[in-house]
Amino acid sequence: MNRFLTLALTMSVLSCERITVREYEVPKEELPPKSAVRAQIERVSAQAPSISFHTPPGWKAEPPTPMRQASFLVQAEDGTKVDISVTSFPDESGGLLANINRWRAQLGLEETELLEPTIERRTLAGREFVIVDLANEPAPGSKKQRIIGAILSAQDETWFFKMTGDDALTAAQRPAFLEVLESVQFRSP
């Protein structure tokens, strides 16, 4: 009991000490000018492997995002759209089946365990692409959607070329999409 009493008294004495609050003023850090930021981005981009390809007529370039190497939009007169993206990730990026199932999930389709009926292997410009063409059966009141995607392993990365959008418009863009794949060129740092 003595120990408990000693501990309680010690804690009460320590807790009665006066705490002082100090206030500091720190000057606001100035951001570099936009031109300096842009120059830094260009330096980093110049160091990374880059990709180039033919852009088909009607594919409107969109600003790239941190995840996308390139981004395009195709829009028909009736307002239907197709979003086109080019992305890359290190190594195998989870594997072929996992990536195809991710695309299937985006359309509301069930996962598959079989690759071969789902994919087409096609050699374009000396490179083997895995091409996937998926469409959903929409719920009442929704429009049918399609994903046409291509996966390419190159330069220790996996490259994803993907069109997502209105079923008919996406299917109509398939020949242009294959031309893009045929024109892919890599530039090493």
Number of domains present in the structure of the chain = 1
Q: What is the DSSP letter of 128?
A: E
Determine the length of the chain: 189
Tokens 């059966």 correspond to: 137
Flag whether pLDDT at 179 surpasses 50: yes
Residue whose C-alpha is closest to residue 173's, from 149, 142, 138: 149
**Domain for residue 58, yes or no?**
yes
Query: Is residue 117 domain-resident?
Result: yes
| 69 occurs within a structural domain | yes
CA-to-CA dists, residue 157 to 119, 122, 130, 163, angstroms: 20, 18, 14, 20
41 within domain boundaries? no
- β-strands 119-124, 81-90 pairing: unpaired
The reported pTM is: 0.71
- Rounded CA-CA distance 140/108 in Å is 14
- Residue 172 clears pLDDT 90, i.e. is over it: yes
Q: What pLDDT, in 10s, does the model give residues 72-108?
A: 999 999 999 999 999 998 887 788 999 999 999 999 9
**What is the 8-class DSSP label of residue 99?**
H
3-state secondary structure (DSSP) of residue 28 = coil
Residue 158 structural domain:
52-187
CA dist 80 and 143 (Å) reads 10
Note whether residue 179 is domain-resident. yes
Residue 66: its pLDDT value, please? Answer: 87
Residue 188: the pLDDT is 66
Measuring CA to CA, how many Å separate 150 from each of 49, 103, 124?
19, 11, 11
Write out pLDDT tens, residues 25-82: 656 556 566 565 555 445 444 445 478 899 999 999 998 888 899 999 999 999 999 9
**Per-residue pLDDT reduced to its tens digit, 109-128:** 999 988 877 799 999 988 99
Domain containing residue 86: CATH number: 3.40.1000.10
| Nearest one of 159, 185, 146 to 85, comparing CA atoms | 159
Residue 12 lies in a domain: no
